[in-house]
Amino acid sequence: EAGVAQSPRYKIIEKRQSVAFWCNPISGHATLYWYQQILGQGPKLLIQFQNNGVVDDSQLPKDRFSAERLKGVDSTLKIQPAKLEDSAVYLCASSFDSSVYEQYFGPGTRLTVT
């Protein structure tokens, strides 16, 4: 079974630029998550989708971050404009559905904002 795919793996941008990350979850998984992991810390949930609907986006900085999962499969997370404090690894995870607790994580995208 193929795992969660993410791209790009690494991205370096200057502050105030925009960036987008892509995630393709495990086939058949209805729930998709985006996490932000700052160096030395545990992942923090940014947004959770159930199919193409948002379940939880309470910790998403909506003035600069946006995410979509239009067809209920792959998802895109965007930052516009980026700030220095956005430097982190952005992890995507999926689970069969929201009542199944085991989440499968992708390798992440390491973002550096200079």
Partner 1 sequence: GESVGLHLPTLSVQEGDNSIINCAYSNSASDYFIWYKQESGKGPQFIIDIRSNMDKRQGQRVTVLLNKTVKHLSLQIAATQPGDSAVYFCAEIPNSGYSTLTFGKGTMLLVSP
Q: Which is nearer to partner 1, 84 or 100 (CB)?
A: 100
User: Measuring CA to CA, how many Å separate 50 from each of 3, 33, 64?
Assistant: 18, 9, 22
Sequence-separated (6 or more) residues with CB below 8 Å from residue 70: 52
**DSSP per residue, 59-78:** TS-TTTEEEE-TTSS-EEEE
x/- site string to partner 1, residues 2 to 41, per CB under 8 A?
--x--------------------------x--------xx
Q: Which is nearer to partner 1, 17 or 51 (CB)?
A: 51
Site residues, partner 1 (CB under 8 A): 4, 31, 40-45, 48, 55-56, 91, 93, 95, 98-108
